[in-house]
Amino acid sequence: MSANAMSRSLRKLGLGLKEHYGIIATNKLSLLGFWIIVLFTLVAAFAPWIAPHEPWEMLFDSKGEFAALRAPSWEFPFGTTHLGYDLYSQLVLATRTTLLIGATSGFISIIIGANIGLIAGYYGGKVDEVLMRLTDILYGMPFLPFIIILIALFGRKLEFVILAIVLIIWRTSARVIRAQTIAIKQRQFIAMARARGASDLRIIYVHILPNVLPLLLLYAAFNIAWSIITEASASFLGFGDGETISWGGMLYELWLSGKTRVAWWWFATPSVCIILLVTSLVFVSRAYEEVANPRLRKR
């Protein structure tokens, strides 16, 4: 497919990049959030080149002394842990893990949620009944304990953490997309598409999907934010992947070290990053909320 044809079909699906930047740029906070996310993404992409040390490398300062529990300084910008690990390097490398888990589980969960929502909403009847009862069952599960049990069952590996998050996080998006699908299904242009001979799948994916897209992107951002929080919580409780460093894992190590009251920098750096990234995602999603629900738009 030529680049031109590609951009045309993306645009038809409502995925034109320019339009989306336009949507984000309408709101100053969303724009700020967008650039913060871009920054984190760049850090994640180039993490091994940015980080000066290995995450679990015991360091000695320029005078040759063991660099344990150092407050931020020129040499160790974000300080060190009680075992002399460089928090700056840990943070940079953890960004990669956190973003990977967040983006992957956010992306997979929105695809599952959107499809279940579209299919349940469009077909209605028994299909809807079965899919929505399934969603209800997931709603009945307490979030964190469920994920912890899953990870305990599967093992503390990155892909299982993602799987566990995905398995539960799609529920909200499925419900919301279903409601929106039902509303759009009743609009006349859907009747028109059917009268013109469009098949069910064509109606769902060509006619309805672009109309739920703003909502979809809104919930994609939410799902990513939720995944990041969930991963951090699970890791903090010791249910993250022990082999890779993550923001939640850094907090877990702080907890294990028993230095919480002493090493404010150890506590501050991952926490600020979590808050900053999640808030940025929420800010970006706000721009889509205005598109998805025009009533929120300022008059």
Partner 1 sequence: MAILELANLSRHFEIRPGLLDRAFKGKASSYIKAVQGLNVTVEDNEILGIAGESGCGKSTTCTMISALMEPSDGDIRFKGRSILGLKGKALKDYRRSVQMIFQDPYESLNPRFRIADIVAEGPRALGLWRGEELDRRVHAILSAVGLPPAKYAERFPHELSGGERQRVGIASALIMEPEMIIADEPLSMLDVSIRAGILDLMRDMQAQKGFASIYVSHDLSILGNVADRILIMYLGQAMEVGPAREVILNPKHPYTKALIGAVPVPDPRSRRAVPNVRGDLSKPIDPPPGCRFAPRCPHADESCKTKFIALDTQDPQKHQAACHKLAEIGHG
The site for partner 1 (CB under 8 A) is made up of 12, 14, 187-189, 191-199, 202, 206-207, 210-211, 213
Min dist. Cβ of residue 220 to partner 1 (A): 18
Question: 31 to each of 14, 17, 24, 28, 298, how far by Cα in Å?
Answer: 20, 14, 6, 5, 17
d(CA 79, CA 64): 16
Beta bridge partners of 23: none
Report the residue number, 12 or 297, with the smaller CB distance to partner 1.
Answer: 12
* Residue number, 64 or 294, with CB nearest to partner 1: 294
Cα–Cα distance, 72 to 269 (Å, whole number): 10
CB of 196 to partner 1, least distance (A): 4
- For 298, list phi and psi in degrees, rounded to 5: -70, 140
The Cα diameter of the chain in Å comes to: 80
Amino acid at position 200, single letter: D
Nearer to partner 1, 70 or 207 (CB): 207
Work out how close the CB of 203 gets to partner 1 at its nearest, in angstroms, rounded to a whole number.
Answer: 9
Smallest separation (angstroms) from partner 1 to the CB of 213: 8
Looking at the Cβ atoms of 21 and 60, the one nearer to partner 1 is 21
Instruction: Outline where 141-263 has alpha helix (H).
Output: 143-154, 158-185, 188-195, 200-202, 209-236, 247-257
Smallest distance from partner 1 to CB 168, Å: 31
Q: Which is nearer to partner 1, 210 or 238 (CB)?
A: 210
Q: Which is nearer to partner 1, 199 or 293 (CB)?
A: 199
Measuring CA to CA, how many Å separate 249 from each of 112, 153, 225, 246?
28, 19, 17, 5
Rounded to the nearest whole angstrom, what is the least distance from the CB of residue 206 to partner 1 in the complex?
8
- Backbone phi, psi, residue 213, to 5°: -60, -45
